[in-house]
Amino acid sequence: MPNPDKAPTPESNAAAQPTRLVQSLGLFSSTAIVIGSMIGSGIYIVDADIARGTDSPALYLGAWIVTAVMTLIGALSYGELAAMMPKAGGQYVYLRESLGPLWGFLFGWTLFLVIQTGTIAAVCVAFGKFLGVFFPSVSTTHWLWHIAHVPAWRVGPMVLGNMEIGVNTANIAGIAIVVFLAIANIFGVRLGALIQNVFTSAKAISLAALILVAFTVGASATAGQANFGAALSQFWRNAGWHSLHPVEVGVGGPIAWVNLFVILAVVQVGSLFSADAWNNVTFTAGEVKNPKRNLPLSLILGTGFVLTVYFLVSLAYLIVLPLHGDPHGATAMARGIQFASEDRVATAALGQVFHSGGAMLMAGAILISTFGCANGMTLAGARVFYAMSQDGLFFKGVGKLHPKYKTPVAGLLIQGAWTVVLCVSGSYSQLLDYIIFAELVFYILTIAGLFVLRIKQPDAPRPYKALGYPVLPALYIVMAAWICIVLLRYKPQYTWPGLVLVLIGIPVYLLWSRRPSQASSSGSDA
């Protein structure tokens, strides 16, 4: 007979709830997940494409300001949802509760198929590529098993294929990182958080060092004159209200001449992608201590830090290298930011300062950055699939936790397995081209859900309310919708494939939802 006078202990509660996640992530760890997931390899390379698109130092920095404004508004808005529903799965849960289970599933489906796994694959293979700086035998051209080449073909606005399938020394290094991180994160969220804290701190220090070097010993009179000379006339070059910028419509399509509002939207493909994944900490909400305080705070602190660093890094590039350059230039200074070798702007900047040693320093920084990014995304992503399984919308085993470490072991392994497939298929880089449009659609829907929940659940506890509501969330929706419209018009190769990937999830949802339910919709609050 149970003793009615004996109060249940935390240990007995845990035993009675074997699927309960353990709250062990403090504010520093949750902020490290935000920072570590955002900073991957993008900030080291996308500036070249942004510089080519804008062709103006002012608009080049303006692109990062647009990204910063949107991301900060997004984080402020998500803070309310995170504090209101501190449950494993984060954005999946917000969409489910505000707009319905179909929208939550479509987000989770796209996250599994492309967003999370494709990004992990990309950053892990980038790890392998930069490892080749130290070990030349590690290369994408050093094949151990070349299975096939898939030629490119066009389907309407989409260009598909052009992939090399097989195992080379670069992607096998990436696969090794994928497997290692999947297994390491099984052994408790504290181990995953420890890895994240160490590598996030290291990448923050390396970026701070890059900024410091550029603003001191790296400052170039040539770059200063080219980018800021003649009383800042060079800085504002091609940034006037009536200036027009060329944009290739689709792949191999006609050239359209567009104004600054359109070109700033077009180049967001690079800057928004580099600043993406800030929402990953919401996936781990079930394991954050005092989530009603720490989740909104970590979103604000993490995004604020990264976006400030990104702006300063991009400004640092302008201090070291001229924006405009010659694609056939013999030196980094001659090629400029626009035509940095293989778009590796950070390597070109440090090479200009330290010559031959610059490449080594930058490669080391990128190895740290990509490893930390992959770990944060590995840790966070599996929690979404765990939440989906709890709702009966993913494989049943994914909804179970390791009996000792209380981690979603099956979710980590399935996520890792699909990521390995993407690494071997060579499709991840093409898939990543498609996700920004899909991501923006889900961000718009989630922030629209903030308005819906204010109406549907006006009396629900809201420990934190979105700053600037309703003006700032509405501004985000308008800005993101404008970028989506521009990308649909001028970059269909980035938009329609992503939309198709999302829509394929509708029949999959209908199949999953007809299966016998294994848990109620409240199951994912563990």
pLDDT digits (tens, 9 = 90+) for 306-338: 999 999 999 999 999 999 999 988 888 999 999
Q: Provide the pLDDT for residue 19.
A: 54
CA-to-CA separations, 167 to 164, 170, 173, in angstroms, rounded: 9, 8, 10
Q: Provide the pLDDT for residue 156.
A: 62
3-state class (DSSP) for residue 159: strand
Q: Is 247 in contact with 253 (CB distance < 8 Å)?
A: no
**Percent of the chain whose pLDDT exceeds 70:** 91
Average pLDDT score over the chain: 88
245 class by beta-carbon count within 10 Å (0-12 exposed, 13-18 middle, 19+ buried): buried
Cis peptide before 473 (omega within 30 of 0): no
Q: Provide the pLDDT for residue 160.
A: 64
**Percent of the chain whose pLDDT exceeds 90:** 62
The distance from CA 407 to its chain's CA centroid, rounded to whole angstroms, is: 23
Q: Provide the pLDDT for residue 342.
A: 80
Q: Provide the pLDDT for residue 309.
A: 96
231 class by beta-carbon count within 10 Å (0-12 exposed, 13-18 middle, 19+ buried): exposed
Q: Provide the pLDDT for residue 512.
A: 86
Residues of the chain with pLDDT under 50: 1-18, 518-526
Tell me how far apart the alpha carbons of residues 212 and 191 are, in angstroms, rounded to a whole number.
32
Q: Provide the pLDDT for residue 157.
A: 59
285 token code pair: 């909400």
Q: Is 12 in contact with 340 (CB distance < 8 Å)?
A: no
3-state class (DSSP) for residue 145: strand
Tell me how far apart the alpha carbons of residues 332 and 352 are, in angstroms, rounded to a whole number.
7
Q: Domains in the chain, start-ordered, CATH in brackets?
A: 22-423+443-525 (1.20.1740.10)
Question: Which one, of 297, 292, 274, 311, lies nearest residue 37 by Cα?
Answer: 274
Question: Which one, of 210, 143, 200, lies nearest residue 171 by Cα?
Answer: 143
306 token code pair: 């990264």
Tell me how far apart the alpha carbons of residues 92 and 78 are, in angstroms, rounded to a whole number.
12
3-state class (DSSP) for residue 132: coil
Q: Provide the pLDDT for residue 75.
A: 96
Q: pLDDT tens digits for 197-234?
A: 999 999 999 999 999 999 999 999 999 999 998 888 99
Q: Provide the pLDDT for residue 221.
A: 93
